Amino acid sequence: MTTTTLQGEPTVEETRRILVIGTGDTKADELLFMRERIEAVGGVAVMMDVSVLGDPPYRPAYDRHAVAKAADTTIEAIIASGDENSAMTLMALGASRLARALHDKSEIDGVIALGGSMGT
């Protein structure tokens, strides 16, 4: 956190918003731990789900439908492809586009992505 005043002197807290990206269907424990750690130091964790197997056990700010839409497709079309590699490639495209848009609008201050398989 940083603090500033009108004269540039420290006094008013500014909360950092960190985008946390991951597959909540298989990595929920790890993602929720990361959210807990960010919030423990006064930040705000903005969750983005890039799951293709199912929904996470928490409500992300940006769900898999929003991520698929950012890739100019739907989660149903991605799942119907039957190819996990191309599915994750499309979800990565959507996540990067959405993250860029959030950054450009100053809605996030940083990004962390957690992964495991598929060459991450």
**What tens digit of pLDDT does each residue of 70-113 get?**
999 999 999 998 888 899 999 999 999 999 999 999 999 999 99
Asked if the structure places residue 3 within a domain, the reply is: no
pLDDT of residue 83: 86
Average pLDDT of the chain to the nearest whole number: 88
pLDDT of residue 85: 86
Asked if the structure places residue 43 within a domain, the reply is: yes
Asked if the structure places residue 2 within a domain, the reply is: no
- Hey, what amino acid is at 49? D
The tally of domains found in the chain comes to 1
pLDDT of residue 82: 85
Asked if the structure places residue 7 within a domain, the reply is: no
Q: 71-77 long-range contacts, Cβ below 8 Å, gap at least 24?
A: 71/97
Whether the pLDDT of residue 30 is over 90: the answer is yes
Report pLDDT digits (tens) over 36-45: 999 999 999 9
Q: Which of 114, 118, 116 has its CA nearest to residue 34?
A: 114
pLDDT of residue 14: 75
Asked if the structure places residue 32 within a domain, the reply is: yes
- Hey, what amino acid is at 108? I
CA distances from residue 18 to 7, 87, 92, 113, 119 in whole angstroms, order as listed: 27, 25, 18, 10, 24
Domain of residue 90 covers 15-113
Q: What are phi and psi of 118, to 5 degrees?
A: 60, 30
pLDDT of residue 10: 42
Mean pLDDT of 50-59: 94
Asked if the structure places residue 118 within a domain, the reply is: no
On the 0-12 / 13-18 / 19+ scale of CB atoms within 10 A, 67 is buried
Asked if the structure places residue 9 within a domain, the reply is: no
**CATH code of residue 97:** 3.40.50.12020
Asked if the structure places residue 119 within a domain, the reply is: no
Cβ atoms 98, 66 nearer than 8 A: yes
